[in-house]
Amino acid sequence: MKLILKIFFVLFCVFVQAQKKHYFLIDSETKVRKKVKDSTSAVKFLDSLAQNNYFFTQLKEVKKIGDSTEIIYDKGKNFNETYVNLSDSISQRTKIQKEFFTKNLDSTKKTINKTYIDDGFAFSRIKTKYKGQKKGYPIVELEINKNDKRTIDNFVVKGYTSVPKRFMKNLEKEFKGKTYDDKNLIAINKSFQGHQFVTLERPPQTLFTKDSTSIFLFMEKKKTNSFDGVIGFGNDKTDKFTLNGTLNVNFRNIFNSFETVNLYWQRNPDKGQTFDLQADVPYLFKSNVGLNMKVNIFRQDSTYANVKALPAFYYHINSRNKIGFRGTFESSTIIDTLYVQGKDYNKKGLGIWYEMVETD
């Protein structure tokens, strides 16, 4: 039984191989030989020549040699200088006259097609029809196959996916539903240029499906944390033990919320001291409201001390603009009672501030 099955399998393979046909397209001028899958593919190739300005393509001969079919053709002259007739829809959209002569048909077709692509018809195609001759030049009619209009439907984050949800919602709010064109793609890419916390590993990529257009963002987290400082021990003028030095710490986006914390501290042996803290949390409770806090403490040896606090709340108008309220609270106190050149004071204030960031 096994022997019979083996013989049957061999005979079946021979039969299939015998039924397999080969098709070759041969240019009669250049002798270039091109293999195609079947006769349908051969017909499509010959039809495509007319779309590339070979309007007088001729089928010269068809040869059958065993299981091979050779199709010999002459594509003729490439006519890039032609008389053009535009369809009513193209003429109205592009504001170009319906009939004219062009010395570069390829350039004309690209210009017309780009107009439709900029309108969101990403898969538009210009169809060329040969309509005859005039003064030794072909007359062609151009029609548009627009397909479906494309808009930006959603964003897909790859790579660094822990970006704040509110940041992505703001990005979608700005671009979702807009026409899919080069202008908006450049604007999306530009919104990440010079960003403090993230960068794009590559330009935005697009995935087209039948019903949607998705923009893929390949993000990378910027590593901008820094720590620098020198801490020492010594004695002051009264030979008391003191802690001196400088400390500069910068933390950025540690908790993946685009937060920033900058801390600077400096103290000298004479008890002069500076403490500066700046913190910014842009998306409080996953909202567009942010908090900014600045605290500065300055002490001039044992003479006086100054404390200043600048709390602020702000709202993200968009990815580049924000507006908010800022308070000012300042207190200065004389420590040395013998220092008569100054006096204590307190200061309070409230203001509105606006910030715009423009990328380079």
From start to end of 255-303, where are the E strands? 260-267, 273-281, 289-300
CB 311 within 8 A of CB 293: yes
CB 354 within 8 A of CB 323: yes
Determine the pLDDT at residue 289. Answer: 94
Query: Strand 33-36 to strand 22-27: parallel, antiparallel, or no bridges (unpaired)?
Result: antiparallel
In angstroms, what CA-CA distances link 224 with 227, 240, 319? 10, 39, 20
DSSP, res 112: H
Map 34-53 to HEC letters: EEECCHHHHHHHHHHHHHCC
Determine the pLDDT at residue 13. Answer: 44
- Using one digit for the tens of pLDDT, what is the confidence trace for 79-118? 788 899 998 889 988 888 999 998 888 899 999 999 999 8
Determine the pLDDT at residue 9. Answer: 41
Helices (H) and strands (E) in the chain, counts: 6, 20
Q: In this structure, what token pair is assigned to residue 136?
A: 């030794």
Which residues make beta-bridge pairs with 353?
Answer: 324
- Using one digit for the tens of pLDDT, what is the confidence trace for 184-202? 999 999 888 888 899 999 9
Determine the pLDDT at residue 297. Answer: 92
Which helix (H) or strand (E) element contains residue 174? helix 165-175
Determine the pLDDT at residue 160. Answer: 92
In angstroms, what CA-CA distances link 54 with 79, 80, 82, 184? 6, 9, 12, 36
pLDDT of 8 over the 80 cut: no
pLDDT band at 10 (very low <50, low <70, confident <90, very high): very low
CA distance 170 to 284: 14
pLDDT of 19 over the 60 cut: no
The model's pTM is 0.71
DSSP, res 111: H
Determine the pLDDT at residue 239. Answer: 61
pLDDT of 255 over the 60 cut: yes
CB 299 within 8 A of CB 273: yes
Average pLDDT taken over every residue of the chain: 84
* Contact partners, residue 47, CB within 8 Å, separation at least 6: none
In angstroms, what CA-CA distances link 229 with 101, 204, 264? 74, 40, 9
Of 127 and 313, the structure prediction assigns the larger pLDDT to: 313
CB 350 within 8 A of CB 326: yes
Share of the chain above pLDDT 70, in %: 90
pLDDT of 303 over the 70 cut: yes
Determine the pLDDT at residue 292. Answer: 94
Determine the pLDDT at residue 65. Answer: 80
Question: Which contacts (CB < 8 Å, 24+ apart) does range 335-338 have?
Answer: 335/299, 335/302, 335/303, 335/304, 335/305, 336/302, 336/303, 336/304
Determine the pLDDT at residue 3. Answer: 38
Residue 208 φ then ψ, to 5°:
-100, 130
pLDDT band at 18 (very low <50, low <70, confident <90, very high): very low
CA distance 156 to 176: 12
Determine the pLDDT at residue 234. Answer: 66
Closest Cα partner for 157 from 98, 94, 200?
Answer: 200
pLDDT band at 17 (very low <50, low <70, confident <90, very high): very low
- Using one digit for the tens of pLDDT, what is the confidence trace for 129-182? 888 888 888 899 999 888 889 999 999 999 999 999 999 999 999 999 999 998
User: Any idea which residue has 């604007």 for tokens?
Assistant: 187
Determine the pLDDT at residue 56. Answer: 75
Which residues make beta-bridge pairs with 265?
Answer: 247, 275
CB 63 within 8 A of CB 26: no
Residue 232 φ then ψ, to 5°:
-140, 170
